[in-house]
Amino acid sequence: MEEIWRSPKSSRFVSERVRKTPPSEIRKFFDLLSSTEGVISLGIGEPDFVTPWHITEAGVYAVEKGYTMYTSNYGLAELREELAHYLWNQHRAGYDPKSEILITVGVSEAFDLAIRATINPGDEVIIPEPSFVSYPPCVILAGGIPVFVPTRVEKEFKLEAKEVEKRITERTKAIVLSYPNNPTGAVMNRTELLEIAELAQRYNLIVLSDEIYSRLVYGVEHICFPTLPGMKERTILLGGFSKTYAMTGWRIGFAAAPAELIEAMVTIHQYTIMCAPIMSQKAAVEALRNGERAVNEMLEEYDRRRRIIVKGLNEIGLTCFEPKGAFYAFPSVKALGFSSGEFAERLLLEEKVAVIPGPAFGPSGEGHVRCCYAVSIPEIEEALERMERFVRKYR
């Protein structure tokens, strides 16, 4: 895991763009984590479930049947067709499987393609923060300029249209949306998203909507951004299998957008990746066809854990607003007087609980830490006990 964060910045052979890409704040943490024994990790943002067996079996069966070759650059037709049905059934988002859907190596690749296919050097990209760590580096590596919009706990970390508008200039090209949000668990309702849609229309901006957590919502409706009036034509929808179906290691995701944008993304994808692995695509077909029961079971379990962790954190004095999506709680640690980084480091060293400092996801994360509750209930309970001891010691 920690290798991801190593970059040889000091070498004279390293490009200017890579040098300009800030190091991840999470890196230090994974280094510490890997050298500490007996840790309960609320750090890593991935499901603790293994992929449901029938999905794995479809992947294994595909290999056994000799599906070991390239696919079309766009991805298997049967997967794109299943996705088109799925997007329609789940969200009433209508996409032509022949020309408006691209299968990618996770949302990670889909986001990178979306940025590189749309951003010219010097273009500004509006990014709410705190948010997923990959957005700013991808923008910088494409020669674009990330423009951050802070979100605040008082507003449940929702993106406020008036804050976005203040940052729009003649160089603004795109807005990134990321709801349900990593690391805050924030979701946006229809009215709030309509305000962003109105700005996109008025200033003629493209929207990159990362909806990887669309299925992980608790008691609220997920609004699929391109289904808002006038938005399909200016939105690249990014979605995946990693979180919904516990398939992080299969590396499979997708982008859905108007044909000319998908074509632009394929122009890069065909030369860099060629296609997502065929066995993962076959497994994804099975996930879409028969995965609903497993999704609902995992969702119920996440919800149980969510309630336990949010209640527990509030009871020990780490104030936590109720996250309505994804699998993260984002409590405030201000009561202890430590910075987020200091809190996380001490908690790891003294009580062996790993959480991620909020500023790893953007400066507005200061005063908070991200606790991923995609771990078992006994582990959450043990982590809460350790955190309570820690809080009592320093309060």
Ligand X SMILES: Cc1ncc(COP(=O)(O)O)c(C=O)c1O
Which is closer to ligand X, CB of 173 or CB of 243?
243
Contact flags string 44-83 toward ligand X, x per CB under 6 A: -x--------------------------------------
Helix (H, G, I), strand (E, B) or coil at 374: coil
SS (H, E, C) 131-193: CCCCHHHHHHHCCCEEEEEECCHHHCCCCCHHHHHHCCCCCEEEEEECCCCCCCCCCCCHHHH
Q: Which of 187, 212, 265, 318 binds ligand X (CB under 6 A)?
A: 212
Q: For the stretch 27-38, what's the b/e string if a residue is b when 16 or more beta carbons lie within 10 angstroms of its beta carbon? A: bbbbebbeeeee
Query: Whole-angstrom distance between the N-terminal and C-terminal Cα of the chain?
Result: 34
Backbone φ, ψ for residue 371 (5° rounding): -115, 115
Q: Which of 242, 244, 332, 340 binds ligand X (CB under 6 A)?
A: 242
> Of 117-136, which residues contact ligand X (CB under 6 A)?
132
Tell me the closest approach of the beta carbon of residue 269 to ligand X, in angstroms.
14
Residue range at the interface with ligand X (CB under 6 A); choices 24-32, 102-110, 226-234, 358-366: 102-110
Is residue 227 within 8 Å of residue 207, measured between CB atoms?
Answer: no
Q: For the stretch 209-244, what's the b/e string if a residue is b when 16 or more beta carbons lie within 10 angstroms of its beta carbon? A: bbbbbbbbbbeeebbbbbbbeebbebbbbbbbbbbb
- 248 binding ligand X? (CB under 6 A): yes
Cα Rg for the chain, rounded, in angstroms? 21
Tell me the closest approach of the beta carbon of residue 317 to ligand X, in angstroms.
28
Which is closer to ligand X, CB of 132 or CB of 157?
132
Which is closer to ligand X, CB of 140 or CB of 391?
140
- 253 binding ligand X? (CB under 6 A): yes
Task: For residue 271, give every residue at least 6 positions away whose Cβ sits within 8 Å of its Cβ, in sequence order, or none.
Answer: none
Tell me the closest approach of the beta carbon of residue 252 to ligand X, in angstroms.
7
Q: Which residue type occupies 198?
A: E
d(CA 55, CA 61): 10
Which is closer to ligand X, CB of 25 or CB of 210?
210
- 225 binding ligand X? (CB under 6 A): no
Which is closer to ligand X, CB of 239 or CB of 312?
239
Which is closer to ligand X, CB of 128 or CB of 367?
128
Q: Which of 106, 146, 258, 291 binds ligand X (CB under 6 A)?
A: 106
> Of 169-188, which residues contact ligand X (CB under 6 A)?
178, 182
Which is closer to ligand X, CB of 84 or CB of 276?
276
d(CA 306, CA 302): 6
Is residue 183 within 8 Å of residue 214, measured between CB atoms?
Answer: no
Chain residues in the site for ligand X (CB under 6 A) = 45, 106-108, 132, 178, 182, 210, 212, 240, 242, 248, 253
